[in-house]
Amino acid sequence: MFDVFYIGKKPELFPHEQPVDSIDHALGQSKTRFFWIVNYLADYSNFDFLWEPSPWQAHQRHAWPSQHQKDSGTYLVPAAGYKETNYRQDTVIVRLPTDQNWRTPYEVSDFDYSWHPDPSDPPMTYYFGTQWQRTGGPIYYNGGPNIKIVSLPRATVLPSDQHWNVPSIVSNNFDRSWHPDLLDLP
């Protein structure tokens, strides 16, 4: 078995997993030919941690996809270092939902909170759309000032009387789930 490292919260997968700040930190700590970087927000129940690359791919970092990105944050890294990343497609690592980094401006249903940004993207604020607008769904804060509009997944905003002043002559059938685009001026 290779060394196993994690960044952030402990995944509790193996008794010998160790915390690191980065892949570079793990490169200095590893005592095996390769090492794993794992994530506590991943379902590894059907994952093969005994997998090894073919000899002609042994110099590459291997990254497995999630259901949302080409890179789930799970890597097998050669302890000698790497210059290339091989984005695997043979096994998808299912990311688990979390409330970490999310803010929801309206009450929503039908949203997949397992979404995560691509680890190679710079830190950003990600806005998700709804049935009405390009924004208004959950917002993922990743520490950056730049904004990115993400088209999928979309959320369904639930009807609410908040922010509405509806005259009594208006039908009760009015759909109060409508909302403005969050990036529009007030």
- Give the model confidence (pLDDT) of 8-38 as tens digits: 999 999 999 999 999 999 999 999 999 999 9
- Confidence class for position 164, pLDDT limits 50, 70, 90: confident
Q: Does one domain contain both 44 and 118?
A: no
Of 52, 74, 94, which residue constitutes the final position of a domain? Answer: 94
Helix, coil or strand: residue 127? strand
Q: Is the pLDDT of residue 165 over 90?
A: no
Q: Is the pLDDT of residue 161 over 90?
A: no
**DSSP state letters, 67-121:** SS-S--SEEEEETT--S-EEE--S-PPEEPP--TTEE-SS-EES--TT----TTS
From residue 50, give the alpha-carbon distance in Å to each of 2, 40, 44.
8, 19, 13
Number of structural domains found in the chain: 2
Cis peptide before 53 (omega within 30 of 0): no
Q: In the prediction, which pLDDT does 170 show?
A: 74
* Residue 46 domain-assigned (yes or no): yes
Query: Using one digit for the tens of pLDDT, what is the confidence trace for 115-148?
Result: 999 998 999 999 999 999 999 999 999 988 899 9
* Residue 144 domain-assigned (yes or no): yes
Of 44, 68, 94, which residue constitutes the final position of a domain? Answer: 94
Arithmetic mean of pLDDT over the chain = 94
Q: Does one domain contain both 82 and 150?
A: no
* Residue 184 domain-assigned (yes or no): no
* Residue 73 domain-assigned (yes or no): yes
* Residue 34 domain-assigned (yes or no): yes
Q: Does one domain contain both 107 and 90?
A: no
CA gap 65, 7 in Å, rounded: 17
Q: In the prediction, which pLDDT does 59 show?
A: 98
Q: Does one domain contain both 33 and 57?
A: yes
- Asked whether the beta carbons of 20 and 51 are under 8 A apart, the reply is no
The boundaries of the domain holding residue 56 are: 3-94
Q: Does one domain contain both 122 and 61?
A: no
Q: Does one domain contain both 85 and 131?
A: no
Q: Does one domain contain both 80 and 114?
A: no
Q: Does one domain contain both 77 and 105?
A: no
Of 61, 94, 127, which residue constitutes the final position of a domain? Answer: 94
